[in-house]
Chains A and B, each alone.
Chain A
């Protein structure tokens, strides 16, 4: 007599299990197959091509009515099982009970729905089955309709690409900093975003959904940052969760999923489970390969054959036509790993291999995934890759290839890309001059004026010469920023501008960085260049800042910090002094020192006290003095005409005015100013980055002084009659320094490279240039002129300054 088998769920795992079972024991079982969906088994993975219109539903059916009939399977489709009665060994469903000798639960998973207001409005769908797919296809058929996909993982992006292909205007809202963060690193995530944007899909990363708006049906999605996206369809694709309700109600052991052993048996030996609903050794499963393995093991268990389930490595490919993306292996939680990175900016290729010992453990490929299967094989088999390690990244076809081309970044520029910003010379013009016989830097300068002004694009012009003339051009050696790149600071700044590179992954990819995420030398430089170039859109990266700028205080040798409130122009009041004294006592500050910049330094403050002492000082009207930053430090002044019998102008007033205008601006290195009221120069203005000496007839503005490792007097930039013009020139000078100097060059070093004459031309003589510099400075100040102390008073900010945890003997028990 046949034994009775009931299967709940007709997904990919159960379909595969039935095939194995029927092949091994064709007549042993009397099978009943339940499915909540009103249809049988189909290839769920292929729903994306159905959504995009590249396949039809008929093409993705894996088991049709004839197949079920041939094998005598009783189909109960469109019928949701109500419960499992383990005592009587029956499955209860609306159209009647079915007894079982063995039961297989294959209920799969359910999409996670974020419970934001409006999540239940008509027009909000998930992406799980054919009904969802058909709802999306119907929505896309209305001309001019707009979709918002919440979730930038594998499923969400396939939904977005499918909807876009059907003509919808699609926006993807993703909570994390880059797309598919579980499979991709930021570099590959950047390339993916760029590709999707090129297809007209808008991508909003770091977007948290606050609410879905609409009266009768969905109209828009509102994010927590206030952004509003109009939508006729909202697709939630934020993740899946195992469907365990039936199993849990039947009293089976359930954790995140239905707990199974190596033979796919649940805590009840008569009941097995397979697919996305199970949990095996703490792990749940969402990709198809392990599900198929489970199906095989479950079939073996039913026929009494020995088989154990061992999860295998899985690989991911994004099924979006034209996007080449592959990721495989496990990038998480293991010490002793190393990276091999290859980038080809010209072709938009990024490859990263993660190696542990002599084994490949992970691979991310973007743009060229031809070697994906080969790398996957190496990962899966644990192949010893030591003998081929040097050439591993070039793949199996490697025949002695070449090192990455340092000229690739400049070669990838379009002809209209501007190389020389001073004289507006583009790449095409320079190449034309080289074609016309210019064979060295001098000749290019003479014919095109490129690199003839500030000279910061010299490196790029030389690279163009080298790429056009090859061996015939001897390129002078320039020092690269660090070991991560061949490019010098000047080259990187020019290329960020010329190519519109707006994020750190963009810079590293397009300019061929040799490391996966830079180093302690290049990251702070890139962070500055990006925020100086794109103040409104670039998001400052605290993790790419030196500790002092990250913590807004100066670290001392014992790990404590110093706190310096701003004293505008070196002026203070009894109230401020009292607040400083109170704070020093309250936080037991071990040392209080008057600085050379005319303010007071509280030394030895513990990190966790910083937000608290700041709040106390804030309450008295004191703000951060940025004594720790590559930023405006102090404006030192003398008392000037207010009190001094020799003072010619209001030097204190001018100093305060300058400090109020300039504070908060990030600069390539620290910037110190001084204003003296007469040539006796009590404020020591002639050794500052910018020093003004007041005279009867006006203001002498000197720049490029130094009194640190080098000692140097300022040089005269201009002499002006009015205080207003003095302020204008100083602001324009600081902005030009921000735009053109290398990171960590003080103004005197920058001036030695670009020349005082060029700077004078830009900020003094050329009025329109001066005005434009000031306008750009003010635009950036609208973003950056904020007191960092006041921004760090929330409980979350305070928690971030405290230890993560404390371990005590009790906690460990």
Chain B
């Protein structure tokens, strides 16, 4: 695990998301109504829509492009066989959001 501080919880509105830019692409960091945070790759498995711009409801987000619903806890589409996106461990500590960046850094040269 490589925990990185990416900002304050208050920087993300409740039931909203912000984008984290990484060498492996954009990650959507969500904050739920009850102040939990989740980090998912910001690309809908359907047509690559930015999940960070979707409407957040309960533990899910609805993609803004075509309405696919993705679970925040597992990154999986609620619809069967619609695929999913990678999730990244995230937690809150003292009002700061920490994300596990171990899979978000540049590939190490062998």
Write the residues of chain A forming the contact surface with B, with a CB cutoff of 8 angstroms.
177, 185-186, 331-339, 515-520, 523-524, 542-547, 550-551, 555, 557, 559, 803-809, 811-812
Contact A804 B18 (CB under 8 A): yes
Interchain CB contact (< 8 A) of B23 among A557, A803, A805, A808: A808
8 A Cβ contacts from B7-47 to A? 7, 11-16, 18-23, 26, 29, 33-38, 47
A804/B12 in contact, CB under 8 A: yes
Which residues from B are CB-within-8-Å of A519? Answer: 55, 57-58, 62
- Additional A-B contacts beyond A555-B65, A803-B20 (16; CB < 8 A): A331-B35, A337-B36, A339-B59, A516-B33, A516-B58, A519-B58, A520-B67, A523-B55, A543-B56, A544-B55, A545-B55, A547-B64, A559-B49, A804-B20, A804-B29, A812-B2
Taken together as a complex, chains A and B put the C-alpha atoms of A555 and B48 apart, in Å, by 13
Pairwise interchain contact A332-B65, C-beta atoms closer than 8 A: no
B6 within 8 A of A: yes
A438 to B4, CA, bound (A): 68
B58, A546: Cβ atoms closer than 8 Å: no
Q: Judge if B54 is at the interface, Cβ distance under 8 Å.
A: yes
Q: Are B7 and A805 in contact (CB under 8 A)?
A: yes
Collect the chain B residues with CB atoms within 8 Å of residue A557's CB.
Answer: 47, 49, 65
Given contact pairs A331-B34, A803-B19, A804-B7, A809 touches B92 in the complex (Cβ within 8 A): no
Query: What are 30 A-B contacts defined by CB distance under 8 Å?
Result: A185-B34, A331-B36, A332-B36, A335-B72, A336-B74, A338-B59, A515-B57, A518-B57, A519-B58, A519-B62, A520-B55, A520-B67, A520-B69, A523-B57, A542-B16, A546-B64, A555-B50, A555-B64, A557-B47, A559-B53, A803-B18, A803-B21, A804-B29, A805-B20, A805-B21, A807-B99, A809-B105, A812-B4, A812-B101, A812-B105
Least CB separation from A518: chain B residue = B57
Shortest C-beta distance, B70 to chain A (Å), equals: 11
Give the Cβ gap from B81 to chain A, nearest Cβ, in Å: 20
Q: What CA separation (Å) do A336 and B59 show in the bound complex?
A: 8
Bound Cα distance from A523 to B37, whole angstroms: 21
B2–A806 CB distance below 8 A: no
Q: How large is the interface on B (under 10, 10 to 19, 20 to 34, 35 or more residues)?
A: 35 or more
In the complex, A145→B45 CA distance in Å? 61
A335 to B73, CA, bound (A): 5
Whether A333 and B57, one on each chain, are in contact in the complex, defined by CB atoms closer than 8 angstroms, is: no
Tell me whether A806 and B57 are in contact (CB under 8 A): no
State in angstroms the CA–CA spacing of A544 and B91 once bound together: 25
Chain B neighbourhood of A334, CB < 8 A = 36
With CB as the reference atom, state the residue of chain B lying closest to A808. B23
B85 touches A (CB below 8 Å):
no
Contact A520 B57 (CB under 8 A): yes
Closest beta carbon of chain B to A93's beta carbon, Å: 34
The chain B residue sitting closest to A181, CB to CB, is B35
Who on chain B is nearest to A256 by CB?
B94
User: How far apart sit A544 and B55, CA to CA, in the bound complex (Å)?
Assistant: 7
Name the residue among B20, B33, B37 with the largest chain A CB count within 10 angstroms.
Answer: B33
**Chain A nearest Cβ from B36, distance in angstroms:** 5
Instruction: Provide the residues of chain A in CB contact with B20, threshold 8 Å.
Output: 803-807
CB distance from A526 to the nearest CB of B (A): 12
- The answer for the CA separation of A804 and B12 in the assembled complex, in Å, is 8
With A and B bound together, what is the CA distance between A542 and B56 in angstroms? 11
Known: A332-B35, A333-B37, A517-B33. A807 touches B57 (CB 8 A): no
Structural contact, B104 and A520, CB atoms closer than 8 A: no
- Give the distance in Å from the alpha carbon of A806 to the alpha carbon of B25 in the complex: 10
Question: Hey, which chain A residues are within 8 Å of B14, CB to CB?
Answer: 177, 543
A607 CB to closest chain B CB (Å) equals 8
Distance in Å: Cβ of A350 to nearest Cβ of chain B: 14
Query: Could you tell me if A807 and B22 are in contact, using CB atoms closer than 8 angstroms?
Result: yes
Cα separation A216 to B63 with both chains bound (whole Å): 58
Q: Are B62 and A807 in contact (CB under 8 A)?
A: no
User: In whole angstroms, what is the CA distance A804 to B11 when docked?
Assistant: 8
Q: How far apart are the CA atoms of A559 and B48 in the complex, in Å? A: 9
Report B-chain residues with C-beta under 8 Å of the C-beta of A516: 33, 58
* Residues of B with C-beta under 8 A to A524: 55
Known: A520-B67, A543-B15, A809-B23. A555 touches B54 (CB 8 A): no
Bound: A546/B7 CA distance, A: 25
A546–B87 Cα distance when bound, in Å, is 24
Contact yes or no, B37 A806, CB < 8 A? no
| 4 cross-chain pairs, A with B, having the tightest CB-CB distances, nearest first | A520-B62, A804-B18, A520-B55, A547-B53
Chain A residues with CB under 8 Å of B64's CB are 546-547, 555
- Per the bound structure, the CA–CA distance linking A338 and B74 in Å amounts to 12
Say yes or no: A805 contacts B6, CB within 8 Å. yes
The answer to whether A547 and B54 touch (CB under 8 A), given A519-B62, A557-B47, A805-B6, is yes
Judging by beta carbons under 8 Å apart, are B58 and A807 in contact?
Answer: no
Q: How far is the CB of A331 from chain B (nearest CB, A)?
A: 5
> Given the complex of chains A and B, what is the CA–CA distance between A622 and B106 in angstroms?
43
Q: Is the CB of B34 within 8 A of A559?
A: no
- Least CB distance, A761 to chain B, in whole angstroms: 38
Complex contact A807–B105 (CB within 8 A): yes
Q: Would you call A807 and B21 a contact (CB within 8 A)?
A: yes
Residues on A with beta carbons closer than 8 Å to the beta carbon of B91? 333
The interface residues of chain B lying within 8 Å CB-to-CB of A523 are 55, 57
Contact residues in A for B105 (Cβ distance below 8 Å): 807, 809, 812
- State whether B4 touches A811 (Cβ < 8 A): yes
CB neighbours (8 Å) of B74 from chain A are 335-336
Are B53 and A555 neighbours in the complex by a CB distance under 8 Å?
yes
Q: With A524-B55, A807-B4 as known contacts, state yes or no: A336 contacts B62, CB within 8 Å.
A: no
Q: Is the CB of A332 within 8 A of B54?
A: no
Contact B21 A806 (CB under 8 A): yes
Compute how far the CA of A805 lies from the CA of B36 in the bound complex, rounded to whole angstroms. 18
- Residue contact B6 to A807, C-beta cutoff 8 Å: yes
Chain B hits for A331, CB < 8 A: 34-36
CB distance from B54 to the nearest CB of A (A): 7
Q: A523-B55, A543-B55 are in contact. Are A185 and B21 (CB under 8 A)?
A: no
CA distance A679 to B108 in the complex (A): 71
Q: Which residues of A contact B2 (CB under 8 A)?
A: 812
* Chain A residues, CB < 8 A from B7: 804-805
Residue of B nearest to A517 (CB): B33
- Give complex CA distance A2, B72 in Å: 60
B95 → chain A closest CB, angstroms? 12
State in angstroms the CA–CA spacing of A23 and B23 once bound together.
63
A residues in contact with B48, CB < 8 Å? 559
**Which of A516, A544, A545, A804 is the most central at the interface, judged by chain B CB atoms within 10 Å of its CB?**
A804
Residues of A with C-beta under 8 A to B49: 557, 559
Residues of chain B within 8 A (CB-CB) of A807 are 4, 6, 20-23, 99, 101, 104-105
* Inter-subunit contact B16/A543 (CB<8 Å): yes
Chain B neighbourhood of A333, CB < 8 A? 36-37, 91-92
Complex contact B33–A186 (CB within 8 A): yes
Asked if B19 and A520 make an inter-chain contact with CB atoms under 8 angstroms apart, the answer reads no
From residue 60 to 94 of chain B, which have CB atoms closer than 8 A to chain A? 62, 64-65, 67, 69, 72-74, 87, 91-92
**C-alpha spacing A524/B56, complex, angstroms:** 12
Taken together as a complex, chains A and B put the C-alpha atoms of A339 and B99 apart, in Å, by 25
